[in-house]
Amino acid sequence: MNNKIVAVIPARSGSKGVKNKNIHPLNSKPLISFSIQAANFTQSIERVFVSTDSQQYAEIALKYGAEVPFLRPKEISQDMSTDYEFMNHFLNWYYKTNNSVPAYIIHLRPTTPLRDPAIIEKAIQTMINCENATALRSIHEMSESAYKTFELTDSLLKCIGTGSYELDHANNARQSFPTTYFANGYVDILKSEIIVNDNLIHGNKVIGYITPCTTEVDTYDDIDYLEFLIQTKSKKIVDKLFGESNVV
């Protein structure tokens, strides 16, 4: 193992909700380019890789400065394929090529495009300074506690997690419930040793790193909302990623 920090951006083809989601235009640029640029302008990230099963996606990634040294096998690029599968595939390739693996992998999903490289850098330093942590995941506070949500079984509501059909407790004031957080994909930081030795992505000592609330792309409505954000409160981030200076 070496002390290198690399970014890995997963970008399989074949999305169904938004066709070719990972390269769908956003502000006239392919969605994946936002993640590549965020990694390119994060100080501690030394190399930026894209893991994709698509030659078309690979060519776009190369255009924006990422490395695409292989095409990911189709069998680990399916709807039900896991993060562990493509990360393990990447580390196997990296080890064969470099005779070592990087200490940290910065996992950036293309579906969360509006990231500030300065926030990614702070997350990296937080992870480095916490030796016992097995991973870091970015989060933001949920508008409603998850304890106030429900499951649906045979058309009947029951409280999340408990299985209770007694719902009146969920009507209590929001302040009476624990604050809960949503893993938002802004930045995840993985330790190669956890993936290699434990066959896990995150392990059991995961730092919760609070970031600004962010929007992930699942639908065309999300694309429209992101276009609005780019013209309003997120304009500075886009200028940082694609502007003339690109200063973090």
Full pLDDT tens readout for the chain, 248 residues: 678 999 999 999 988 789 999 999 999 999 999 999 999 999 999 999 999 999 999 999 999 999 999 999 999 898 888 999 999 999 999 999 999 999 999 999 999 999 999 999 999 999 999 989 999 999 999 988 998 899 999 999 998 878 889 998 888 888 888 899 999 999 999 999 999 999 999 999 999 999 999 999 999 999 999 999 999 989 999 999 998 444 33
Provide the 8-state DSSP code for 70.
Answer: S
Q: Could you tell me if 187 and 173 lie in one domain?
A: no
Q: Could you tell me if 10 and 116 lie in one domain?
A: yes
Q: Could you tell me if 77 and 133 lie in one domain?
A: yes
232 part of a folded domain: yes
Q: Could you tell me if 77 and 35 lie in one domain?
A: yes
247 part of a folded domain: no
Q: Could you tell me if 65 and 175 lie in one domain?
A: no
218 part of a folded domain: yes
DSSP H helices, 27-143, are 31-40, 55-63, 83-98, 117-128
78 part of a folded domain: yes
Number of domains in the chain: 2
Q: Which domain holds residue 127?
A: 5-141+181-242
**By three-state DSSP, how is residue 164 classified?**
coil
CA–CA separation, 80 and 99 (whole Å): 30
Closest listed residue to residue 9, CA positions, set 69, 43, 60, 49 = 49
Q: Could you tell me if 11 and 105 lie in one domain?
A: yes
**By three-state DSSP, how is residue 134 classified?**
coil
Q: Could you tell me if 109 and 175 lie in one domain?
A: no
List all residues 6 or more positions away from 239 whose beta carbon is below 8 Å from its beta carbon: none
Q: Could you tell me if 147 and 104 lie in one domain?
A: no
Q: Could you tell me if 171 and 185 lie in one domain?
A: no
Residue 187's CATH number:
3.90.550.10
Q: Could you tell me if 160 and 92 lie in one domain?
A: no
Distances 62 to 37, 50, 55, 96, 120 between C-alpha atoms, Å: 12, 9, 10, 22, 22
Q: Could you tell me if 189 and 132 lie in one domain?
A: yes
248 part of a folded domain: no
109 part of a folded domain: yes
Provide the angle, in degrees to the nearest 10, between the axes of the packed helices 31-40 and 55-63.
Answer: 40
